[in-house]
Chains A and B, each alone.
Chain A
């Protein structure tokens, strides 16, 4: 298993709350990614970063934001959670020549 960690694993939160999903990796990978996955569905890339202070939006429009102040840390923030944000969020990383290493995900439920 890869050394990439996501917290929390499960989060139930009320509408309007601000939340931050944490993702950390200890492999020194420059490239990090956030995917959103609904049950039984494909993964959609919502954010990625190719290094410190570099962040880009992915294919799927998302109201979330990300930051990359340190190589190992790539948190995702929702300023005001809504029920439509209910989903599983997967963080991944890789270096130039490796496939993606995934964390175990955060399953978010917004009530």
Chain B
């Protein structure tokens, strides 16, 4: 089964509100990454949080990681219509079979 699973699958909010998206995973990881995908485009990296970090900020983005619960959350504050996109979490595990595994994504719609 998929390593990273996002929740909710879809989220619709008003411009100016905060958006919170969650990601759960099953096995130990080295880092967790969040990506954004605009319709019909490739993914763009947003933020990476290492397994020994608990919180990270980048502009209006705040990511938390709870390795004991194997979960992460992405918070977008003061959302804008331009934030409308799909958001994916991806978990990275190093080693002989190192890989980056993506979840199914969350569709965020920000209404103007």
In the complex with contacts A99-B33, A99-B48, A100-B100, A42-B43 CB distance below 8 A: no
Q: Are A99 and B40 in contact (CB under 8 A)?
A: no
With A41-B104, A42-B88, A42-B105 in contact, is A102–B99 under 8 Å at CB?
A: no
A101 within 8 A of partner (CB): yes
Report if A81 contacts B (CB, 8 A).
no
* Set of chain B residues within 8 Å of A99, measured between Cβ atoms: 33, 35, 45, 48
Whether the pair B99, A45 counts as a contact (CB closer than 8 A) is yes
Judged by a CB distance under 8 angstroms, whether A90 is at the interface is yes
Nearest residue, chain A, Cβ from B46: A99
Interface of B is mostly: strand
Tell me, yes or no, whether A43 is within 8 Å of chain B by CB.
Answer: yes
By a beta-carbon cutoff of 8 Å, the part of chain A in contact with chain B is 1, 4, 6, 35, 40-43, 45, 59, 90, 92, 99-105, 107
Which B residues lie at the A interface, using CB under 8 A?
2, 33, 35, 40-45, 48, 88, 90, 99-100, 102-105, 107
Besides the contacts A43-B43, A100-B100, A102-B43, what 19 more A-B pairs have beta carbons closer than 8 Å? Answer: A1-B44, A4-B42, A6-B42, A41-B104, A41-B105, A42-B2, A42-B88, A42-B104, A42-B105, A45-B99, A59-B99, A92-B42, A99-B35, A99-B45, A100-B43, A102-B35, A102-B42, A105-B40, A107-B40
